[in-house]
């Protein structure tokens, strides 16, 4: 169990923070003392999410931004520093995805997902760097990927390539920016049952039971499983952890390899 001051004093920016895993992470961070900036394309959604956090006593702001646009990402970073006085934690969570056989995938469809996932993550890291370097706790970047970016992801080549790219980018930055006391890690969630992505890509397609059986634990994970990992990596509990990919997938990856 984390204590209420685990993230006290820190400011965090979470992309895709208005719903799903991003909102779960933001809510957990706020409960543990962090100030959170929620960024997303849907202004109403991020504003409502920030209001809910404030209503339960947290410190939260929201800003409309599309991670495909560097200037908007930069503006969100600047607004975080202006609102809270620092930027200590960046969570690159925003993602786009859809199922499509690669032979049918249009170049624009490919580019759309690469732009959101891979380029959006790079934009966040690049825009945040100078502020993370100044963090008195040491900066922390956490990007949400998936081991399907390592194994390959049939019917989702765009997302597989993007997530694999984020893993490589993160390891690169962990080494480049370690001397600036910035830690750079990724989290690889398995199938998280209470998310829009799993609902749309697995459950609605009738593959819910199959996907649960693919995990060693035989069940979907919960958003809070990912939020707990994100708290650990952002906090001083993970102070010596960098360049790591924390797999939180109920043993899905291992079962795949061991089979």
The span from the CA of 143 to the CA of 90, in Å, is: 8
- For residues 139 and 191, which CB has a smaller minimum distance to ligand HXC in the complex? 191
CB of 193 to ligand HXC, least distance (A): 10
User: Comparing C-alpha atoms, which of 9, 227, 2 is closest to residue 135?
Assistant: 9
CB of 50 to ligand HXC, least distance (A): 19
Residues within the interface to ligand HXC (CB under 6 A)? 95-98, 100, 106, 108-109, 112-113, 159, 191, 196-198, 201-202
Question: The sheet that has 245-248: what strands, in order across it?
Answer: 59-64, 35-40, 11-15, 89-92, 139-144, 182-189, 245-248
CB of 95 to ligand HXC, least distance (A): 4
- For residues 49 and 132, which CB has a smaller minimum distance to ligand HXC in the complex? 49
Secondary structure (3-state) at 192: strand
- For residues 181 and 199, which CB has a smaller minimum distance to ligand HXC in the complex? 199
CB of 29 to ligand HXC, least distance (A): 20
- For residues 108 and 240, which CB has a smaller minimum distance to ligand HXC in the complex? 108
- For residues 151 and 181, which CB has a smaller minimum distance to ligand HXC in the complex? 151
DSSP strands (E only) in the chain: 11-15, 35-40, 59-64, 89-92, 139-144, 182-189, 245-248
Q: What is the CA radius of gyration of the chain?
A: 17
The span from the CA of 118 to the CA of 110, in Å, is: 12
User: Which DSSP state fits 50?
Assistant: H
- For residues 112 and 151, which CB has a smaller minimum distance to ligand HXC in the complex? 112
User: Comparing C-alpha atoms, which of 258, 240, 88 is closest to residue 178?
Assistant: 240
CB of 143 to ligand HXC, least distance (A): 12
CB of 42 to ligand HXC, least distance (A): 10
């Amino acid at each position: 169990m984390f204590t209420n001051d685990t993230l006290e004093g820190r400011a965090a920016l979470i992309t895709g923070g208005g719903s799903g895993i991003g909102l779960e992470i933001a809510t957990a961070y706020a409960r543990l003392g962090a100030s959170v900036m929620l960024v997303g394309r849907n202004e109403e959604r991020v504003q409502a999410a920030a209001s809910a956090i404030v209503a339960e006593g947290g410190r939260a702001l929201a800003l409309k931004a599309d991670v495909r646009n560097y200037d908007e990402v930069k503006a969100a970073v600047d607004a975080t520093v202006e609102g809270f006085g620092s930027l200590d934690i960046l969570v690159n969570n925003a993602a786009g995805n859809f199922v499509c056989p690669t032979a049918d995938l249009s170049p624009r469809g490919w580019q759309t997902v690469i732009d959101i996932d891979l380029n959006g993550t790079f934009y966040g890291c690049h825009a945040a760097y100078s502020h993370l370097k100044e963090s008195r706790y040491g900066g922390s970047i956490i990007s949400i990927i998936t081991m399907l970016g390592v194994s390959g992801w049939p019917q989702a080549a765009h997302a597989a390539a993007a997530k694999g790219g984020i893993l490589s980018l993160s390891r690169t930055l962990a080494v480049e920016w370690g001397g600036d006391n910035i830690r750079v890690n990724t989290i690889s969630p398995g199938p998280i049952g209470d998310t829009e992505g799993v609902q749309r890509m697995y459950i609605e397609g009738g593959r819910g039971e199959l996907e649960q059986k693919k995990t060693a634990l035989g069940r979907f994970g919960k958003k809070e499983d990912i939020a707990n990992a994100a708290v650990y990596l952002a906090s001083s509990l993970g102070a010596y952890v960098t360049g790591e990919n924390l797999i939180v997938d109920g043993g899905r990856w291992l079962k795949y390899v061991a089979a």
